[in-house]
Structure 1
Amino acid sequence: MSRQLTTRRGRSWGIVRRSPGGSARRAEREEGPAVASIQKRPDGVWRARYRDDAGKEHARHFQRKVDAQRWLDEVTTSVVTGTYVDPKTAKLTVGEWCDLWLVGYGTRRASTVRQATVHVKVIKEHFGTTRLSAVKPSDVKSWTVQLRQTYAPSTTYAIYRRLAQVMGDAVHDGIIPRSPCSRRTAPAQGQQRPYVATTDQVWGLYDAFPAHLRPAVLLGAFVGLRVSEAAALRVSDVDFMRGIVSPEIQYPSEPLKTEISRTPVPIPNELALLLSRNVETFGATTVVTNEIGRATSPWAIERAMRAHRGDVEGLPDGFRFHDLRHYLASLLIGKGLDVKVVQTRLRHGNATTTLNTYGHLWPDADESARSAVADVLAARADSLRTLEA
């Protein structure tokens, strides 16, 4: 089996193939990135040139031949190691690349693009005029420190992840050889333990909400739906006889973000009866409605939450509709259900998310470990007493 070597003969480069017997023979020159040359111009300046994969020629001029050769060697090394970048595209700024990136990102859902646009605006405020290839890991780390002074830890992490995504796509396009974002530059996520409402507080919210929005509280606290899922839940998505809620869309009428979000959720007959009463009263195509029996919106539900959470004793000022999911998680964990069951009911993508968010809610973790060790020691002591007897 032959292998190819890139060598230099005289002023130009060629391809040498080594035969199975070990002898080398000069191959026919191939036009492409391996073709390069150094020539001395009449004015005494050395002209180094090469052609890239697209056949495009690049040239630089040097006062000394050794400098020209060093430049060609660096280019060749980058080609061999896969870190070659077109010199012209290397001049692209972060702001210019972000604008191009957003155009390609526009195929996502509108809400996702809006969020990305907000993140990109923050990125461009700091790195906009910087060349894409000039951003160093140390620059990213110092930038995240500045972000923490303005934004919450979770927001800072989200903006950083957007920069990592943008830079990763630049690497994929061959614009830069490597991304400045890595585990070493990532800021802390700043995850906080969620507030878990009591059962009395949940029913307090239910009673305080307007009648047409009360099913939203039930869907959040006992089904675990997110606010956009609760607002868009259709009557046809609920099997009232068998007691199954099957989320299919989110507001206004878009697909759910993940396949796991479409997991059917079993509900008791008592909950199905409460939901069906609202359907009978307002006669809409959705389970949650507005005042005149038409489909409502996530903003209307959140607005009601802000208006009435102060009516319930003990609820914090920042209590959101999403916090009702935390109540469901604590309810299931308190009944002794394992992490896989809780993950499925909350429709998390993996058990790690469930454990990271609710691991502290599993009861008696320390006592169970202490008891397990104590049982072994007690058995050992009983064994020794038996032998002594």
Structure 2
Amino acid sequence: MAKSPCSRKTAPPAGKQKAYVATTDQVWALYEAVPAPVRTAVLTGAFLGTRLAEAGGLMIADLDLMRGVWSPSAQYPDDELKTATSRTPVPFSQELALELSAHIAATADQRKGEWLLCDQWGSQLAPWTIQRAIRAARAKVPGLPEAFSYLRHFFASMLIADGSDVKKVQAALRHASAKSTLDTYSHLWPDADDTIRAAGGRVLRERAARLAAEAT
């Protein structure tokens, strides 16, 4: 034979690994375990959904602390963001605004630039410094992977648990398409069967409550 009929056979594709989602306790344990300069990086990952390079490149001017809006403009050290979608503004809570304001005030005298995150010498906090601190903290927070990205996954899971639909999560994560969001986080949304059961149960409970009220 000039060519084997088996030559085009390939192994079935491997299933995509689900994103690791840290628990709330793990996030706060990590926050306590890392050095002070890195704690704000943990907050940006968990409550703004920053990528590692975006955390290092985040400028104070990108934060509207009064309105609670982050307008991404650059990634470390001062590079353009990879896509136009990455520039999508992200809203954040007043509680986070207070945390960020306190950090900015506390580092004002030592900071040598307009970055949000700086090291103990006031220089821009590098992604590898953040990553190294997280790696070292894992000994105190069992079960956590090394990657900064699991904080972004926590951010997504928090939004989903709070009832956000796929379009809202897509916008907050600045994904180019809803497919990217679903490919990564579809397992975190309630199962369709559970949603149907919950909806039916709610209607029946409302009817039972109305009949009980009429009977009295």
TM-score normalised by length of structure 2: 0.82
Pick closer, same or farther for the CA change 1:369–1:264 going to 2, 3 Å.
same
Post-superposition shift, 1:364?
4.0
Give the number of equivalent residue pairs: 193
Pick closer, same or farther for the CA change 1:370–1:305 going to 2, 3 Å.
same
Post-superposition shift, 1:223?
0.3
Identity fraction in percent: 50
Aligned to 1:242: 67
Residues 374-385 of structure 1: pairs in structure 2 closer than 5 A: none
Query: Deviations for 1:52-110, whole angstroms, at most 9, x for unmatched residues?
Result: xxxxxxxxxxxxxxxxxxxxxxxxxxxxxxxxxxxxxxxxxxxxxxxxxxxxxxxxxxx
Aligned to 2:192: 365
* Alignment of 1:315 onto 2:143: yes
Post-superposition shift, 1:251?
1.0
Aligned to 2:45: 220
* Alignment of 1:203 onto 2:28: yes
Aligned to 1:276: 101
* Contact in 2 for aligned 1:219/1:230 (Cα 8 Å): yes
Question: Hey, which of these two has a bigger chunk of strand by percent?
Answer: 1
Pick closer, same or farther for the CA change 1:322–1:370 going to 2, 3 Å.
same
Pick closer, same or farther for the CA change 1:311–1:258 going to 2, 3 Å.
same
Post-superposition shift, 1:372?
6.6
Structure showing greater radius of gyration is 1
3-state SS, counterpart of residue 249 of structure 1: coil
* Contact in 2 for aligned 1:212/1:278 (Cα 8 Å): no
* Alignment of 1:293 onto 2:122: yes
Aligned to 2:156: 329
Query: Deviations for 1:247-296, whole angstroms, at most 9, x for unmatched residues?
Result: 10111111101111101111111111111222222223111111112101
Pick closer, same or farther for the CA change 1:303–1:368 going to 2, 3 Å.
same
Aligned to 2:177: 350
Query: Deviations for 1:351-385, whole angstroms, at most 9, x for unmatched residues?
Result: 0111111111112422223567899xxxxxxxxxx
Aligned to 2:214: none
2:146 & 2:193 partners in 1: Cα distance? 30
2:194 & 2:101 partners in 1: Cα distance? 43
2:24 & 2:127 partners in 1: Cα distance? 23
Aligned to 1:303: 132
Out of 4, 19, 23, the residue aligned to residue 194 of structure 1 is: 19
3-state SS, counterpart of residue 299 of structure 1: helix
TM-score normalised by length of structure 1: 0.47
Residues 76-225 of structure 1: pairs in structure 2 closer than 5 A: 188=13, 190-225=15-50
Aligned to 2:206: none
Aligned to 1:230: 55
Aligned to 1:339: 166
Query: Deviations for 1:111-162, whole angstroms, at most 9, x for unmatched residues?
Result: xxxxxxxxxxxxxxxxxxxxxxxxxxx97x68x87xxxxxxxxxxxxxxxxx
* Contact in 2 for aligned 1:215/1:288 (Cα 8 Å): yes
Q: Which has the higher contact order (CA 8 A, sep 6+)?
A: 2
2:69 & 2:198 partners in 1: Cα distance? 39
1:292 & 1:310 partners in 2: Cα distance? 26
Out of 260, 263, 272, the residue aligned to residue 88 of structure 2 is: 263
Q: RMSD over aligned Cα, in angstroms?
A: 2.2
* Contact in 1 for aligned 2:72/2:89 (Cα 8 Å): yes
Pick closer, same or farther for the CA change 1:189–1:229 going to 2, 3 Å.
farther
3-state SS, counterpart of residue 179 of structure 2: helix
Gaps of 5+ in 1: 1-137, 146-186, 376-389
2:116 & 2:179 partners in 1: Cα distance? 32
2:63 & 2:198 partners in 1: Cα distance? 44
* Contact in 1 for aligned 2:58/2:75 (Cα 8 Å): yes
* Contact in 1 for aligned 2:37/2:118 (Cα 8 Å): yes
* Contact in 2 for aligned 1:282/1:292 (Cα 8 Å): no
* Contact in 2 for aligned 1:216/1:288 (Cα 8 Å): yes
